[in-house]
Amino acid sequence: IVAMLATIAVVSIVGASAGAHTELAIAVPDIGARVGGTVDRIELTFFGPIEDPTVFVETPSDATIEGKIERPAPNGVWLALERPLDETGQHIVRYAATSTDGDRDQQAYAFVYDPTSPPAVFAGPDDDSGGSPLIGVIVAALALGFVLLLFIAMKRRTTSTAT
């Protein structure tokens, strides 16, 4: 049982880190969200450490909003916009980053800014959660493995009792 749990943990860690590269884990405003309030920054958190990030926002009228890049963590990047969003409609966040293995990836996602919608919830500079999304993946994989082992053990116990 211990060997099986160890195997599940190793496969989870290696699989998650190998596929993560510059994959986006969390975005604020979220992908596909409809947000209002003051949107004066974009927060991106990746599954692994990134280097040399670039981020900008395209407005519904095809204007580009840039700003100051901040690095709250090795796997995070915030774009403090040069001006808050004020144009209703779909905005596109375009970003690029280099993973620790040297692969450069460029991606984009969209959200809708509507002043009448609830505001986005930003982590902000005082966020000290320090948690990594990868930890959640590992914990979930271990929990799933444990439940699977319990199921197998119960199945064997039921089978051996019936015979």
pLDDT at 148 over 70: yes
Distance of CA 142 to the CA centre of its chain: 20
Structure tokens at 130: 């320090």
Does residue 125 surpass a pLDDT of 60?
Answer: no
- Cβ of 127: how many Cβ atoms within 10 Å? 12
Among 13-22, 38-47, 102-111, 133-142, which stretch is predicted with the lowest mean pLDDT?
A: 13-22
Higher pLDDT, 48 or 150: 48
Q: How far apart are CA 106 and CA 53, in angstroms?
A: 10
- Tokens 């692994």, residue? 48
Q: Which tens digits make up the pLDDT trace of 87-100?
A: 999 999 999 999 98
Parallel, antiparallel or unpaired: strands 104-113 and 34-35:
parallel
pTM of full prediction above 0.95: no
Cβ contact 85:33 at 8 Å: no
How many whole angstroms separate alpha carbon 102 and alpha carbon 14?
18
Find all residues with CB under 8 Å of 25, minimum gap 6, and list them: 45, 46, 47, 75, 133
Degrees (nearest 5) of the Cα angle 106, 107, 113?
140
